[in-house]
Amino acid sequence: MTAVLEARSLDAGYGAGSTVVRSLDLEVHEGEIVALLGPNGAGKTTTLNTLCGELAPLGGDVVLHGRTVTGPLHERARLGLGLVAEERAVLTSMSVTDNLRVTRADPDRAFALFPELQAHARRQVGLLSGGQQQMLALAIALSRPTTVLLADELSLGLAPLIVDRLLRALRDAADSGVAVLLVEQHIAKAMAVADRAYVMRRGQIEVSGTATELRGRLVEIQESYLEAHPTTISNGSAPA
């Protein structure tokens, strides 16, 4: 399988003296979902922000389609990288259709991915539910020429059924060839759609493996969460 996105010996953080991620190696291949798991503060978002170009690496390389990239997010977007971040990347004062237009997303593809958005095409996005806004953010990312998608906590604050819907759309995207790196607090849900996973702790990869292998170690993995954040995981779900 082809590695679409790689971190090679990546150090990341917020300037000298505040290195958060150390010597991180990871790969995301065409057509797979890779879950990046870990307790709060492990460095998942810092990793994603460095992979997408929002943060400059403090060491090592980010490699996209076999080439080291150093430019900002918009340059990486032109190379096929898409990002759906914790804060929903939609323009709330505009309609759904205008959001698709200004982001150069393909509306037919977007509405095919999320037919439930069609009825709201002319509505101001700020009036949509959180779940609908997140569907739109994902629809935008997936209806552009995206070859690798970074998804950071796209389920944050959303109802389980909506989370399932979003994760299913990610699975479909991966099945059609997109490489997906997924940061997700709902471990069980993430592991249900992932092909592989990395578990981070204190800025380093502590465990990695195929989803099949790691599903058998979910309790151990969840315990690593429990240690750092006692209320997050008891049954694979985040607290309401």
Q: How far is the CB of 7 from ligand ATP (least distance, A)?
A: 14
At residue 190, φ and ψ (nearest 5 deg) are -60, -45
Contact between 5 and 154 under an 8 Å Cβ cutoff? The reply is no
In degrees, rounded to 5, the angle at the alpha carbon of residue 90 between the alpha carbons of residues 159 and 145 is 100
Residue 46 in contact with ligand ATP, rule: CB under 6 A: yes
For the segment 199-228, give every residue that binds ligand ATP (CB under 6 A). Answer: none
Residue in 2, 9, 40, 234 binding ligand ATP, rule: CB under 6 A: 40
Exactly one of 6, 33, 37, 44 binds ligand ATP (CB under 6 A); that residue is 44
Of 10, 42, 142, 166, the one binding ligand ATP (CB under 6 A) is 42
Question: Which tokens sit at 173?
Answer: 């995207």
Q: Which is nearer to ligand ATP, 125 or 187 (CB)?
A: 187
Q: Report how far residue 19's alpha carbon sits from residue 118's, in angstroms, rounded to the nearest whole number.
A: 44
Figure out which of the listed residues 22, 45, 69, 128 binds ligand ATP, where binding follows CB under 6 A: 45
Residue 117 phi, psi dihedral angles, 5° rounding? -85, -20
Task: Classify each residue of 133-143 as buried b or exposed e, where b means 16 or more C-beta atoms within 10 Å of its C-beta.
Answer: bbbbbbbbbbb
Pick the binder of ligand ATP from 17, 18, 74, 122 (CB under 6 A): 18
**50 interacts with ligand ATP by CB under 6 A:** no
Give the interface with ligand ATP as residue ranges (CB under 6 A).
14, 18, 20, 38, 40-46
